[in-house]
Structures are given as structure tokens and as C-alpha cells.
Structure 1
Amino acid sequence: MTSINASSDADRVPLTAAPASSISDQDSPLYLREIASFAHQVTGVAVARDGRIFVNFPRWTEDAPISVGVLTADGDVRPYPDDEWNSWRNAKRDQLSAQDRWVCVQAMLCDSQNNLWVLDPGAPAQAFVVPGAPKLVRIDLATDSVAQCIAFPLDIAPQGSYLNDVRVSPDGRFVYITDSGTQGAIVVIDLESGQMRRVLDGHPSTQMDPSVTVHANGAPLRRPDGRGVEFSADGIALSRDGVYLFWQAVKGKTLYRVPTEALRDTALSCDEVGERVDKVLEHGPADGLHFDRAGRLLITAVEEHAVTVWDGESLATLLHEPGLQWPDTFAEGPDGSIYLTDSRIPEMNWFKPGNPDALPSRLLIIAGGEPSGAG
């Protein structure tokens, strides 16, 4: 069995059990508790209804030995669903098929039908899209086997695309995906008919905002050649009733939404869908979005080392942790617990030459009460 290390603290909580209750039930101050650490850069996290925790490691700077894994009770990461799906390597890209292996997994989601959805934009280093690699894979969590593999053709995932995050409608019929690549868009899939299309492709709401510069610790976050953080439509959230889809560009300051009926209506032109888009909130660069059980929108404030919360009227800071380098992706556990990855993007050697390719990262949980020891 291949594994990559997580934290080895003997007092860590069992990773198959959700260790905290819904944050909406907490009266005490909230803080972040580390429940696992990794030798490689993590982005996505998903939690099954049986409490199993899944994580993914994109191929941004290195060939991580595992792309998609499940955390074991002792804190290791086991390849998921098996070693074969995790066997693709950059050095062997001409020898291994990309259609049935993880190439550069970015995000995951557990749905209400007991499936794990794995989104693979197929673009290592967020660059060249490997032919045949972009796909959305559904794994049946009851059998731990691949039940469906949706391949994205070039008109859905063209060169320059980077499919970033995914949501599934409450009835399990529709899938919504953000493209944070050079031209932002929303991808909509009708799982019943098999139809898929790019909507809001090039619309201002899905594009990078040229007036925004993303900062880290108060300084512009740039590569040595001057390029900054250049992600289009990235974070995505679906209202609990499935009526509205929300998204934001990382290189942006505006949260947008659109009625999902407009995204599903194939009779609407691109311009007509665009006319249904609303500006919701102006704040600053953000990555992960998630609606909690109280109907509040959680937002990762990447410049502030914080998580903010929007209740439909006002924006407030839910928690602030100076050690939180890049709050990335939320996931909700079966009891309402909120998990969060810290992908440490500002520490990548893209922005800090000399830092190692393999960047250690963490999985955290939002907890209430007083912090006590390492965990």
C-alpha cells in the first residue's frame, strides 16, 4: 500500500469520525484545529456520510505519489479508489492512458446520493491540458468503485482551461463546475441527458478583475517574472435548496450568483443567461465557498488569513488565524462539521524560488471552545 504521511501525533482524533459539531451550534469562539498534515500540497477535501475523509493533491509543482486518497484511522493517506487510478506520472505521460487515471485532480465533493465526485482538469502545473485527461469521475462510496467517468471534449475543456470546483444539485441531476483558466466560464452537465455546455464563457462575472492584485502578508503575490495570481471563476457554492449558484474569481473582489434554472435552460442564449447574473457582494480575493446548515455563506479570505461569513445582509469575520497561509476548500461532515484545507499557495516555489517542490500542507477543522494541545 502506498501512503504519504499525515501528522503522527498520538493524540490526534480518529479520522473516520467527525470531531466537532456544526459551527452554527457553537456559542464559544471558533478556532482551527489541525487534524492531519501532509508532505505534499493539498487542495480538495470531501467527507462521506460514514465519516470517511478524502483529500486530493494536484500536480502543480511535482508528481505527488498520490492524487486522490482516503485518510486512514492512523493518519496515513491511502490511494483511492486504488493504486492504478493513482499511477499516472508526468515522466510516463506517453506510456499511461490519461482517461482512466488521475492526472491533476483539483477538487472533490461527496453528494447526498453517497457518491464521491472527483474533478480532474488534466492540466499539470495549470498549463498544458493533457489530451483525454479532463474528466469528472463518480465513485460509488458503497462499493468504492468507479461508477461513471465523464470525459470533457475540447469545446468544454479547451487548452488554457482549468476546471476548478464542482457542485451537484440536491436531486443529483445537474453538475456545475467553474473554469478558472485563461477564460473563465461555468460548465453545466445534465446527468440525465448527458448534455454538457459552457455558459457565461467570457462573461465579466467569470473573468479575472484587472483592477485586483492578490496580496500575501501585505505584499503583492507575484512570480519572479512579474505574473501574479491569475485565477478566473474559482470558488463555487450552491444554495442549500439548489436555487442559486454562487461563484467568484480569485483575482477578483465580487461575489456573483445566478438562478440555476437559467443555467439549466438550454433555450437561453449566452447573453440571456448573462442578464440573469447578479452582483451579490464586493469584498476581496477569495477561494473556497460553502453554505453551512444555517444558510450562511462561508468564504475563505485568502489575504486576511481568515474565514468570513455572509448572512445575506452583512459580511463578518468568523475566525482569523495568522498561521493560515491560504484557506482553500471547505467540506461539510455528516454532523455539520466544517473542514478546511490550507494549500499554502503563497509559499509555492512559483512565488518563492528556492522553496521545495513538495510543499507540506494541512487539513483543519473549525472547532469551538478553547484550543487544547496539538491535534
Structure 2
Amino acid sequence: MTKSALLAGFASLAALCATAASAQRAASPLTQVAQFEHQATGVAVAADGRRFVNFPRWTDDAPISVAEVMKDGSLRPYPDANWNAWSNAKANELPVGNHFVCVQSIVPDGQGNLWVVDPGAPGNEKILPGAPKLVKIDLKTNQVTKIIPVPEDVALQGTYLNDIRFSPDGKMGYITDSGTRGAIIVVDLDSGESWRALDGHFSTQVDKTVAVALDGQPLRRPDGRQPMFAADGIAISKDGQTLYYQALTGKTLYSIDTRLLARDVEDAQRRSSVATVAQSQVADGLWMSKAGVLYVTSPTDYSIKRLRGSLLETVLTDPRLRWPDTFAEGPDGKIYVTASHIQDTMWFKPGAPPSIRTELFSFAAAR
């Protein structure tokens, strides 16, 4: 075979691969909504359809913490540039109590507000004193209306505030602690008081029998460690009576009656009342849709699943879902999900640049 014929063969093969990839994307129910030059984790969609994302300060190159995704795909610091101005380089200049330090998630409360969960632990390491907090933003005025500090006896050193869900009346918040000592953190959003529940209980802990693997290969840091994240994904039933949660490094979906998370309930009663909902898989995000469907991300097989009885069934699989992370739901009947590319970060891929490209996708909600 001549050199020119060989090159032509390679070109034809490349064209066929590109065509096949395009066809696969066209056949997928997953639609890319936006692409970002930094690692995005959380997503939120307001009642008027406005979309927001957040970028955790796991590396110091993130230029923004919370942003509104504009119609042209550009990002606008939200609620303003000042709240997003903190960085390690400016740590001695800007107070951590009224600036975003390391935002992990952003969630609307159904009452016209966007809440920002700031674990206050840049690099997912040591908590900065006074930095863990919840920030309430009025979506009509785009103004911060409340800051709830999470005290150090609740956000313990080693805690990582991960995701939040709200009671239907917007008065209570439930946060997963995915750090070294997992728990559910309960917040009275009126008084600002908070407390730890199921602290150290097996249901909120890393399952050490679980090995995180992608494409048949274990996901490991250069020193051999695998991802070890405790209570992470969280969802609440439509009536607000049942809270669902799971450790990321785990294989069991649990639930508890939200009444048992009240401050005056004995922890022994809580612990004995935790229910096993389903055997699952490594999961990051959970979402209870408006139609009452519980969605679960499945990073190890690039898929989205939903709960059917006590079983999880696959909704969609797409290789573009490199670590499906966090869900949101829009008024247009779509479910949104971020792909945060955990496996592509320098934590797990030596030599990778600090900045990685991530995406926001959507798909039609099930009825």
C-alpha cells in the first residue's frame, strides 16, 4: 500500500469515527447546555428559567465562585463581583464571612431565594475560621439578604458542607457533611441555629467495601488513595417528610423521617429509624423531581438512574457524562446535570493542568 493510500485510509477511519460520535450524540437524550473552562459542580435553575452554576475553589485558579449563565453562554458573577472576589492571594485582605471562599452547591428554596453552600475549605482541606456559611440571595433583587454562619462545633475541622435540601415551607435546611466524619447537618433557617444529626452513623459514612472504578480501572490518587467521601447526595420527598441520602463512596441509599431530625429528638431514636431504600452504586447527586421521581447520578458508568420501587433503573448513559455531579430542575420540564470531570483533575491524573473543561447538560424529566 502506498503512503498516500495509507493516509487516505486513516482519514476515512477518522471521518467514520467522527460520524459515529456525532450520530451517538444526536441519538442521546442528553443535550449540552453550556461549557466551562473551570471545574463546575453545582447547578441551579430559578422559577423564571435563569440558570446558575458554581465553581469550587479546589484549586486557586477558579476566577469565580457563583455565576449566572447568560443566554449567550457567558458567565456573570452572582450576585456581584465583590462576593466573588476572595482568593488565597487575597486572604489577608478580604473577610471570609461575607465573601465566597469555596462554594460547593447552590440550590433554590422554592420561596424565591437562591442559597449558596460555602464549606469554607479551599482545596477541600482545612476549614478557615468563620468561613463555613449559608448565603441567601433574593432572586428578584439579586441581593444577599441573609448570611448564616455554621459554627465550629457543627462544621467540625474535617467537615465539608456538600449539598442542601429544604422543607416545603422553606424554614428548614438539611445539609450533607461529606467530610471525614459524615453527618446530616440541620439548619433552622429563621433562627440560624444548626446541629449535627446521625453524626458518625454508618449510613452517613464511607463504605470501605466500595472501590471506585471507571472503565474497569480503579480510580486512585498518585499515592494510591481512592475517593473517600461520606454523605453526599441528598433529596427530600415532595411532602417534606422523608430525607434521602447516600455516601458518595457507598452502595446504599438511605432515608429518614425529617421529624426525627429535629433538635429535641434523641440521636438513639434517629439511628434506629434509618431505613435502607435501595442497593445502589457510587453516586454523587440525588434529585427529587416535581413529578416525584428520584434521580441518582452514576459516575462510574457515565449514567443517570432513577428509583423504581427498591431498584435503580438506567435513564440514560452517555460518555460525555464524565462524573455526573449535581442536578437541578427547570420550569421547562428539563433536568439539568453538571459533569465535573473528577477523574480528569490533577488529583487523579498526574500532570493534568489545574483548569479543566466541564459541562452542563439537560434531559427531559420523566413523568
Q: Same fold (TM over 0.5)?
A: yes
Number of residue pairs matched?
339
Corresponding residue of 2:136: 138
Q: Describe the superposition over 1:312-369 as per-residue Cα deviations: whole angstroms up to 9, x where unpaired.
A: 343210000022110000000023310000000011110001111011100000149x
Output aligned runs, 1:1-375, within 5 Å: 31-264=29-262, 266-367=263-364
Root-mean-square deviation (CA, aligned residues, Å) is 1.2
Shift of 1:236: 0.3
Q: Partner amino acid for 2:280?
A: H
Shift of 1:61: 2.2
Given that 1:292 and 1:336 are in contact with CA atoms closer than 8 Å, whether structure 2 keeps it comes out as no
Given that 2:187 and 2:193 are in contact with CA atoms closer than 8 Å, whether structure 1 keeps it comes out as yes
Q: Describe the superposition over 1:220-250 as per-residue Cα deviations: whole angstroms up to 9, x where unpaired.
A: 1110111110100000000111110000001
Q: Partner amino acid for 2:115?
A: W
Q: SS at the partner of 1:84?
A: coil
Shift of 1:191: 2.1
Distance 1:30 1:366 in 2: 9
Q: Partner amino acid for 2:267?
A: C
Percent identical: 53
Shift of 1:30: 6.0
Q: SS at the partner of 1:273?
A: helix
Shift of 1:93: 1.1
Using CA pairs below 8 Å that are at least 6 residues apart, which structure has the higher relative contact order?
1
Given that 1:30 and 1:367 are in contact with CA atoms closer than 8 Å, whether structure 2 keeps it comes out as no
Given that 2:252 and 2:278 are in contact with CA atoms closer than 8 Å, whether structure 1 keeps it comes out as yes
Q: Partner amino acid for 1:339?
A: Y
Q: Describe the superposition over 1:91-145 as per-residue Cα deviations: whole angstroms up to 9, x where unpaired.
A: 2212211000110000011121110000000111110101111000110011000
Corresponding residue of 1:16: none
Q: Partner amino acid for 2:157?
A: Q
**More helix per residue: 1 or 2?**
2
Shift of 1:267: 2.4
Given that 1:309 and 1:318 are in contact with CA atoms closer than 8 Å, whether structure 2 keeps it comes out as yes
Distance 1:143 1:299 in 2: 33
What are the ranges of 5 or more consecutive residues in structure 1 without an aligned counterpart? 1-28, 369-375
Given that 1:62 and 1:358 are in contact with CA atoms closer than 8 Å, whether structure 2 keeps it comes out as no
Q: SS at the partner of 2:270?
A: helix
Distance 1:52 1:194 in 2: 27
Greater Cα shift, 216-225 or 186-195: 186-195
Given that 1:54 and 1:69 are in contact with CA atoms closer than 8 Å, whether structure 2 keeps it comes out as yes
Shift of 1:296: 1.6
Greater Cα shift, 247-256 or 288-297: 288-297
Q: Partner amino acid for 1:47?
A: V
Given that 2:305 and 2:315 are in contact with CA atoms closer than 8 Å, whether structure 1 keeps it comes out as yes
Larger Rg: 2
Which 4+ residue blocks in structure 1 deviate beyond 4 angstroms? Answer: none
Shift of 1:302: 1.0
